[in-house]
């Protein structure tokens, strides 16, 4: 029974209360509650699957030990893999530092722009005051 049919049954029960109508409403409510619970369970499972897939995608990053495209199976010693991971970590750290430096330069540029605008405003006010003072002296 759908939600619409349940609402119809409730309206009919209000007009003509019978035990059969009440039983029908209770059964439909139970069925809809069970379906809602099933839907929530499916949604939670799908969300968990998406999180797991995203987590796996992060781990599947190639180290590129040779510095070129892989052409077949390659075997590396644990020490060489450790060095490659350290190199990758240092490269990621350098990228992070570059991002921070870029953000810092951007903030400095915004600050410099604000200072220039403030100086221009001050110069405009000085000119206006000078003109007003000169006009007042003429009068």
Instruction: Encode pLDDT of 52-103 as tens digits.
Output: 988 887 665 666 665 656 666 667 778 878 887 888 888 889 999 999 999 9
Residue 90, token pair as written in the block: 């240092």
State the alpha helices, DSSP H only, in the chain.
3-15, 19-59, 78-138
Residue 117, token pair as written in the block: 């605008």
d(CA 11, CA 59): 57
d(CA 105, CA 65): 34
Q: What does pTM read for this prediction?
A: 0.38
């Amino acid at each position: 029974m759908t939600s619409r049919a349940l609402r119809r049954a409730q309206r009919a029960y209000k007009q003509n209360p019978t035990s059969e109508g009440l039983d029908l409403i209770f059964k439909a409510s139970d069925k809809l509650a069970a379906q809602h619970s099933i839907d929530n369970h499916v949604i939670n499972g799908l969300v968990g699957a998406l999180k797991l897939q995203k987590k796996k995608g992060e781990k599947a990053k190639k180290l590129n030990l040779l510095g070129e495209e892989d052409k077949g199976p390659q075997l590396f010693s644990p020490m060489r893999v450790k060095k490659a991971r350290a190199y990758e970590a240092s490269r990621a750290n350098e990228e992070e530092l570059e991002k921070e430096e870029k953000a810092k330069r951007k903030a400095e540029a915004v600050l410099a722009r604000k200072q220039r605008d403030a100086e221009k405003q001050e110069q405009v006010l000085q000119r206006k005051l000078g003109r007003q003072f000169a006009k007042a002296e003429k009068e």
